[in-house]
Amino acid sequence: MTDSEFSTLAAAGLGRDAKDDVRAINAMDRTRYDSSRHLAHATEQARERNYADFLIVDADAHHYENESWPDIVKYIEDPILRHRAELGRPPLDRSNVDQNRAGRIYASSRRRYEEVPGDVPRDVTLIRREMDAIGIDYQIVFPTPMLHLGMHPDKFMETQLSWAYSRWMTEEILPHDNRIKTMVYLPFNDPEASLRTVEYFSGKPGVAGFMVTGPRYKPVHDNAYMAVYRALEERDLPLGFHAGYHSSERIMEGMNRFLSVHALGFVLYSMVHLTNLVINGIPERFPGLKVLWIESGLAWVPFLMQRLDNEYLMRTSEAPLLKKKPSEYMRENFYYTTQPMEYDNLKALQLTMEMINAETQLLFASDFPHWDFNLPSTVYDLPFLSEHAKRRILGENARELFKLDS
Amino acid sequence: MGEWLVGSTADFDEGDRRIMKVDGREIAVLKNDGRFHAISNYCLHMGGPVGEGMIMGKVEAVLTDDEQYVGERFSTEEIHIICPWHGWEYNIATGEFAGDRTRCLPTFEVVTRDGQVYVRT
């Protein structure tokens, strides 16, 4: 490169011609970028050191191939994988997330294109439309990507991000519609922050309770959490454990399908946390604490009832706080949401509902717009439920638990 | 029971579909690989609008002679339509549900005559 070419490049990189002495920078502009301008000082160094006189080789540099993903996909030889990659993001990590199966199921992926009028926040409009379309009167709304925050290696991140989200929800979303509620995210990897969260958000309009995301390795029976349970019990606010899977869960390293990871992952952490709560006598220490198990379906509950009862009866000395069998706490102190209801075997489902005392302990949930959402008809069309039981499950149990209309 | 006019054959490009109401119930008429099919537009699972879903070949596993799994492919003979609510898949020709072949989505005969498409119920 000649000296004059260097001069031109340097001048261009500095955003001026050689005669200008001042260049304005818009510090708030986060979108514009020009490589030559950004590296203008490097260009000056190259000229000053006369790099043009000898060979320089860069043995390691990068580009971002995901920015050209649509051009790359066509070379994938396996037709199924090519199809999955065309409508999804590059499946480059272990997550193997393909919940919407390359566009086969599209409510959650196309939602971002839905047009809204703009008179209220976008989320308010979309939530209202979904509620009205399905026939729902009240909806407890939860985040989606934040369901994985409990696995972040930096607990400060969970505390800070969840706080910001909860402030946004309670200050900018919920006030627009009394029918939209939330259970505020508890950053459970930090017990003190969790207590602060309960104290700050209790009583805020639209706050129906508090929620812990399941994927995390914390022992929920640890002494550090007793103050949180006490605070919730005193305020008569329910505590939800929202299920989730973790893409890097080691026990699932051998599972190659999202179907498999989801089937087991979404009950795995619920089972661990429920077992810890019951066996360590949390329902005995806090008999007024209502715990809700969200989005694990129902089939896991009879299994755990039977398993824990059988083990407990042989090892009562390991659970000295218990005065009843584990299944009794599960039936009397705990609540469950219906989705995703496993209703292919109605006989098993009927027995399950009897075992969990569905008429008082079960709450309908849609999980919309996720790929395995349910509708009220999922409950309403069950042939073995009385009309009274249907109405309890579809709304009255939630009205009591969340104190709706009060 | 009867014969219902859907539209003209010229209105259907490959992959196009029309949703029509017959006696209060929706039927999806679609064109795939040059042929017309008509199916009930209510998924057996939860009533989703199955006629609006993607159409693609059934996914088949490819095994070696000693049962090793070496890949997958789309069938060119069994074509599925996929309900956009939860992904239930049906054979567009027979209505058979891929997860349980004893269950079938109702299908209807489609006839073309003088450049028009009719569905028979």
Closest partner residue to B53 (CB to CB) among A81, A104, A374 is A104
Whether residue A105 and residue B87 make contact (CB cut-off 8 A), yes or no, is yes
Residue of B nearest to A371 (CA): B86
Å between B79 CA and nearest CA of chain A: 14
Whether residue B85 and residue A105 make contact (CB cut-off 8 A), yes or no, is yes
For the stretch A173-208, pLDDT in tens is 999 999 999 999 999 999 999 999 999 999 999 999
For the stretch A60-90, pLDDT in tens is 999 988 888 888 889 988 888 888 887 666 6
Q: How far apart are CA A379 and CA A340, in angstroms?
A: 11
Domain boundaries, chain A: 3-53, 131-402
CA neighbor of B95 nearest in space, from B41, B17, B15, B33? B41
What is B3-120's CATH superfamily?
A: Rieske [2Fe-2S] iron-sulphur domain (2.102.10.10)
Question: Is the separation of the CB atoms in A349 and A383 below 8 Å?
Answer: no
Rounded alpha-carbon distances, angstroms, from residue A39 to A8, A18, A148, A226: 14, 17, 38, 55
Q: How far apart are CA B39 and CA A38, in angstroms?
A: 59
- What does pTM read for this prediction? 0.89
Whether residue B86 and residue A105 make contact (CB cut-off 8 A), yes or no, is yes
Residues 6+ apart with CB under 8 A from B7: B18, B116, B117
Residue of A nearest to B61 (CA): A80
Å between B111 CA and nearest CA of chain A: 29
| Secondary structure, 3-state, B17-83 | EEEEEECCEEEEEEEECCEEEEEECCCCCCCCCHHHCCEEEEEEEEECCCCCEEEEEEEEEEEEEEC
Whether residue B86 and residue A107 make contact (CB cut-off 8 A), yes or no, is no
Domain boundaries, chain B: 3-120
CATH architecture of A131-402: Alpha-Beta Barrel (3.20)
For the stretch A276-293, pLDDT in tens is 999 999 999 999 999 999
Beta strands B25-32; B17-22: pairing state: antiparallel
DSSP element (H, E) containing A197: helix A191-201
Mutant choice from B75, B85, B89, B97 vs A, greatest count of A C-beta within 10 A? B85
For the stretch A31-52, pLDDT in tens is 788 889 889 999 999 999 999 9
Q: Calculate the average pLDDT of chain B.
A: 95
Å between B72 CA and nearest CA of chain A: 6
B85 touches A at CB < 8 Å = yes
For residue A113, name the pLDDT band (cuts at 50, 70, 90).
confident
B73 touches A at CB < 8 Å = yes
Quote the ipTM score: 0.87
